Structure 1
Amino acid sequence: MNALLYALVVVIWGTTWIAISLQQQSGISTNVAVFWRFFISALVLFTFVVLCRKLQKLAVKDHLFCMLQACCIFGFNFVCFYYAVQYISSGLEAVIFSMAVIFNTLNAKLFFGQQVSTRFYPAALLGGLGIIALFWHDVVGSTLNNHTLMGIGLCVLGTYGFSLGNMISARHQKQGLDIFTTNAYGMLYGSILMALIAGFKQDEFFPAMEFSAVSALLYLAIFGSVIGFTAYFYLVGRIGAGKAAYSTLLFPLVALVISTIWEGYQWHMNAVIGVILILCGNAIFFIQAPKFRLSQMLKRS
């Protein structure tokens, strides 16, 4: 089950970059794009939980946590990422987002007292080096100026918001709350937040969009949000936030494979090395090494 959830998250979130790119090309404002994405997601989730009679009654305190989660992972963090790409390359953004592994592991220790596995350090190191190698040309090609620093700052802020959203989801599950219900409320509150921001900035809520942009929006809402976040948060509850966040290192690999097929992306040695390092990091994190006891070895000898 864990492997299925992990693969589902990697494949879905590894393909959302295409939809985001199509959405940005349509000219729709960032605030309105995020609003519609999570409004549609909330509508789908509420319809599902009501029809299946799975809608759970939440206490006021739980609603407040859902609102906080909305700010962290269903609102402001996406605004940070969307604006950051105006200042830095998507490759550099992927490198920075890989810090989610570190943030999740440290936050899990800070908020829940979870011990850091000895596997974390070599796996995180290999994964981080792999992402840097994968996007080496983007990293070395970026000049350090005010715009670059702004993009880096926004991306770090968005990544930390993503991590805090993970912690709140872990809190929900520890309290026995249903993921579908908390996600539905979180996405609803996130859409309300983005609607208020868009209204304040006088953004156009109903811009003219081509079929490709509408399709991209529906993909982001249903697959990227409803299915993707639900699977991911289940993963957080089952294997821990640190291990779940390691899936973020695999998103770029899926994106590059698709880019190779559809856009003719050329693989260079740095990209191959990056893939190998990331896969090695995954192996360290998830593959259980066989345990040998001294008594068994003595018997065999």
Structure 2
Amino acid sequence: MVFVNYLFMCLIFGTTFLAIKIGVDSGLPPFFSAGLRFFIAGLILFLIMIVTKKTQVRLFFHKEMFLTGVCLTFGTFATLYWAEQYVTSGVAAILSATGPIMILLIQNVILKEKGNRLSYIGCLLGISGVIFLILPIFTVEISPFWAIGCVAIIIGEIFYATGTIYTKKVITKFQHTSPIALNAVQMMHGGMLLLLLSLVIERGQYDFTMNLASASSFLYLVVFGSMIGHTLFYWLVARTNPVFPSTWLFISPVIAVLVGVVFYQEYLSWVTVVGTVTIITGTIIVNFNALQSMWKKKLVLKRGFKY
């Protein structure tokens, strides 16, 4: 059951990038659709948590939830949704896989935490992969918005990395609260901020027509992308460990590239392939010690030892 749910989660996370692309291309205002997606998904999950008495309404009013929402939902997805107007869903997914590399950079450069040599090698490899992906802007005629979109996604991953580091403290403080409830509240906060941003920037774009493509994209992202996908993630964390579910970052970008090429006729060049392999390899190396520790624990448990 764990393996099946893991594969399902990877498939969901790998296809959300194309769903975002379809929605944006069909005319949905990026900030408005992102805000509505996360607010509705968060509200539904939060109400379920309240009804089942796994959390209380006052959780919504903690400043930690607001700050987490700013980083994990608002900053991460405002940039991603905007960028996917100009960048293919495959490239967006690959660049989004740089989150662990950004975490390492923040921990070392800003927090002054020492890393190991292997992590630094992985970080350099990941950065070189990003350069490979952005390289075409200097060799062929591509819209400058393509390069700006790539940079925007990387900025979004800095938000994601900051939120992930901060979330460790939040989870410790709210250790008796369901992680699903914590995620639901931060999605609501992030969603409301995205809607406010939309009100300021996209005011003249609200005359869009909801068609089959935009409606399907929106519903898929709300139900599968935000509700089912994140619930599976936290279910896997509870059943295994925090490291194993996070390995979706190594698989989902490949899925995103493939579904973009097959179902949306997105262009796939050798530069994209090299960049994909390089970034994913770098991400694996950055997480190598955590992955190695996870597998060692599995082996010990199989042999009957106790921790």
Instruction: Indicate the TM-score class for this superposition, using the shorter chain for normalisation.
Output: 0.7 to 0.9
Distance (whole Å) between structure 2 residues aligned to residue 16 and residue 267 of structure 1: 18
1:113–1:229 distance in 2 versus 1, CA, 3 Å: farther
Q: Report if aligned partners of 1:37, 1:217 keep a CA contact under 8 Å in 2.
A: yes
1:186 aligns with 2:189: no
1:239 aligns with 2:237: no
- 1:154 is aligned, of 152, 155, 169, to 152
1:63 aligns with 2:52: no
**Structure 1 counterpart of 2:42:** 42
Q: In the TM superposition, what is the alpha-carbon distance from 1:80 to its structure 2 partner?
A: 1.5
Which structure has the larger Rg over C-alpha atoms? 1
Distance (whole Å) between structure 1 residues aligned to residue 70 and residue 225 of structure 2: 18
**The 10-residue stretch of structure 1 (36-45 or 279-288) with the greater mean CA deviation from structure 2:** 279-288
Q: Report if aligned partners of 1:166, 1:233 keep a CA contact under 8 Å in 2.
A: no
* Amino acid in structure 2 at the alignment position of 1:252: P
**Structure 2 counterpart of 1:209:** 210
Q: Deviations over 1:30-50 (max 9, x none)?
A: 221112101221122023213
Distance (whole Å) between structure 2 residues aligned to residue 138 and residue 90 of structure 1: 17
**Structure 1 counterpart of 2:222:** 221
**Structure 1 counterpart of 2:303:** none
* Amino acid in structure 2 at the alignment position of 1:220: L
1:152–1:30 distance in 2 versus 1, CA, 3 Å: same
Distance (whole Å) between structure 2 residues aligned to residue 42 and residue 222 of structure 1: 10
Q: Deviations over 1:122-154 (max 9, x none)?
A: 444555556766x58756656699756643442
Distance (whole Å) between structure 2 residues aligned to residue 102 and residue 89 of structure 1: 22
Distance (whole Å) between structure 1 residues aligned to residue 75 and residue 145 of structure 2: 19
TM value normalised by structure 2: 0.71
* Amino acid in structure 1 at the alignment position of 2:77: F
**Structure 2 counterpart of 1:294:** none
Distance (whole Å) between structure 2 residues aligned to residue 200 and residue 73 of structure 1: 21
Distance (whole Å) between structure 2 residues aligned to residue 153 and residue 270 of structure 1: 17
**Structure 1 counterpart of 2:301:** none
Q: Report if aligned partners of 1:101, 1:246 keep a CA contact under 8 Å in 2.
A: no
Q: Report if aligned partners of 1:6, 1:244 keep a CA contact under 8 Å in 2.
A: yes
Q: In the TM superposition, what is the alpha-carbon distance from 1:64 to its structure 2 partner?
A: 0.6
Q: Report if aligned partners of 2:21, 2:89 keep a CA contact under 8 Å in 1.
A: no
**Structure 2 counterpart of 1:172:** 170
Distance (whole Å) between structure 2 residues aligned to residue 192 and residue 184 of structure 1: 12
Let me know the Cα RMSD of the aligned residues. Answer: 4.1
**The 10-residue stretch of structure 1 (4-13 or 144-153) with the greater mean CA deviation from structure 2:** 144-153
SS in 2 for 1:55: coil
Q: In the TM superposition, what is the alpha-carbon distance from 1:158 to its structure 2 partner?
A: 0.9
Q: Report if aligned partners of 2:88, 2:266 keep a CA contact under 8 Å in 1.
A: no
Distance (whole Å) between structure 2 residues aligned to residue 117 and residue 156 of structure 1: 23
**Structure 2 counterpart of 1:254:** 255
Q: What number of residue pairs does the alignment pair up?
A: 286
Q: In the TM superposition, what is the alpha-carbon distance from 1:24 to its structure 2 partner?
A: 0.8
Q: Report if aligned partners of 1:169, 1:233 keep a CA contact under 8 Å in 2.
A: no
Q: Report if aligned partners of 2:68, 2:163 keep a CA contact under 8 Å in 1.
A: yes
Distance (whole Å) between structure 1 residues aligned to residue 145 and residue 276 of structure 2: 29
Q: In the TM superposition, what is the alpha-carbon distance from 1:93 to its structure 2 partner?
A: 4.3
Q: In the TM superposition, what is the alpha-carbon distance from 1:228 to its structure 2 partner?
A: 2.8
**Structure 2 counterpart of 1:73:** 72
Q: Deviations over 1:62-86 (max 9, x none)?
A: 7211111111121232121222344
Give structure 1 stretches of 5+ with no counterpart: 291-301
Distance (whole Å) between structure 2 residues aligned to residue 191 and residue 265 of structure 1: 29
* Amino acid in structure 2 at the alignment position of 1:11: L
Give structure 2 stretches of 5+ with no counterpart: 297-307
Q: Report if aligned partners of 1:44, 1:222 keep a CA contact under 8 Å in 2.
A: no
